[in-house]
Chains A and B, each alone.
Chain A
Amino acid sequence: MIAIINTGCANINSVRFAFERLGVTPEVLSDPSQLNKFDRAVLPGVGHANVAMKRLIEQGWQQAINEYNKPLLGICLGMQMLCDDSEEGNVKGLGIIDGSIKTLQTGNLTSPHMGWNNIKVSKEHPLTKGITSDDQVYFVHSFAHEVNSTTLASCEYGQPFSAIIAKDNYAGMQFHPEKSAKVGAQLLTNFMQW
């Protein structure tokens, strides 16, 4: 069973529907004490880091996520919250995956980075199985994780940044696999098989 951590953010239904299209029925979970009963967990996120992080801590998720020992996937802001800290609102993250979230330096390109872009796999991992450099996924963000040792796949928009990161049983995707057509479905299937 997959738990979708209910932080009250707007894209929970999108994530739920994406798993349902793959034939699994996730549970939207509001009680942190129940988290360890699930085989997989997803931490979605849309909005402002400051607000989302505050909500996560107030609702008691920090400890439950820290103690979770099965695969957990953060999506977009959910991924960013798993990292050390974020420049958006100068907020401290959960510190589970190494790296800071900083403003994406887009140069003379428009910001936010919004739309379909290629990802380049740099490290073999069950999560990136079957993904090639022609594959595109859907991004919407203006803050990003700099490429480091946790990076499984990267993307470039003004600067290189991490598209997929992982450490131990925790992983994060900066883009929206739930909105990334067949490539996204492949990635979510990989997550279920991880």
Chain B
Amino acid sequence: MLSKRIIPCLDVKNGQVVKGVKFKQHEVVGDIIDLAKLYSEQGADELVFYEISASVEKRLLDLNWVRDIAKNIDIPFCVAGGIKSVDDAAKVLEQGADKISINSPAIARPELIKELHDEFGKQCVVVGIDSFYDEHSGEYLVYQLTGDPNAASQTRYKTQEWIQRVQDLGAGEIVLNCMNQDGVRKGYDLSQLKQMRALCDIPLIASGGAGKEQDFVDVFNQANVDGALAASVFHKQVIEIPKLKQYLKDNKVATRLCN
């Protein structure tokens, strides 16, 4: 049976892993390679690295750490940060990354998704979506450039429309970051994820809100996502991956144990 994936997310800034709350107030968590090795040895199923300042600063992420990661870990990993073209993506994949994730550059130029799909295949192309629930209108809205609070802005898309659009263009996986939940550890946005799951034929990864082991069980059992991404609970050792995996297994979630 295909295992549900546990995916620690490492936000990278100036060569270090950082973590902010609701995308703001970044604090340094540790060294990229040390953390990547630790999580892969503990049984993480995949890692995601976001160089959060790349898109905002209009540049491609630093390729050096990508190569170091590829040398040091033996699980798949996805890289994001300022990938705006097929050439950019080729550079990242050549270093040993398995997938590339695009967010703001896809909003600026949606055809990029199709270009990447045609060149590297669907399995390589992950689209990250920052979705904000607007209480006044009751709608889910797509935001961009969320790596910097001063640059972050609402886009013209509603989340549902954008999910449909990126699938039509050839995305192979969607990471849905529920912004209202980000960093606050009160559980995944099950209501939003359930709605969006119904629109996705491709793997859907939940992001934003994990606070305790039960939150992972809930997001897999109730929203039927393929993977769950989290950062602070792992960085701050609130949740340890081997214990989480055992908890998932005890609660009948398909998982990969690595003991």
Contact = CB atoms under 8 A, between A and B. Distances in A.
Interface residues of B, number: 36
B51 interface: no
Nearest to B67: A13
Nearest to A184: B74
A1 interface: no
A182 B258 CA distance: 9
A17 B96 contact: yes
Nearest to A155: B2
Given A17-B70, A114-B172, A10 B120 contact: yes
Given A111-B201, A136-B256, A179-B74, A47 B121 contact: yes
B226 interface: yes
A20 interface: yes
B11 interface: no
Interface in B78-97: 90, 93-96
A57 B123 CA distance: 24
Nearest to A77: B121
A85 interface: no
A10 B45 contact: no
Interface in A6-62: 10-11, 13-14, 17-18, 20-21, 46-48
B203 interface: yes
A140 B96 contact: no
Interface in A135-194: 136, 138, 140-142, 156-157, 176, 178-182, 184-185
B256 A46 contact: no
B71 interface: yes
Given A110-B203, A111-B201, A117 B74 contact: no
Contact of B94 (A10, A17, A178): A10
Contacts of A138: 75-76
A116 B200 CA distance: 20
Contacts of A142: 122-123
Contacts of B121: 46-48
A28 to B, nearest CB: 12
Contacts of B74: 18, 21, 178-182, 184-185
Contact of B98 (A14, A110, A116, A181): A14
A21 B94 CA distance: 18
Interface string A111-148: 11111111000000000000000101010111000000
Interface in B1-20: 1-3, 5
Interface range for A: 35 or more
Given A17-B70, A184-B74, A115 B95 contact: no
B227 interface: yes
Contact of B227 (A17, A115, A118, A179): A115
A117 B2 contact: yes
A114 B71 CA distance: 22
Nearest to A178: B74
Contacts of B123: 46, 112, 114, 140-142
Nearest to B201: A110
A46 B3 CA distance: 22
Contacts of A17: 70-71, 96
Interface of B: 1-3, 5, 40, 45-46, 67, 70-71, 74-76, 90, 93-96, 98, 120-124, 172-173, 200-204, 226-227, 256-258
6 contacts: A10-B94, A110-B200, A116-B45, A140-B123, A141-B123, A181-B74
Given A142-B122, A176-B76, A182-B74, 6 more contacts: A112-B122, A112-B172, A115-B46, A140-B98, A157-B2, A181-B75
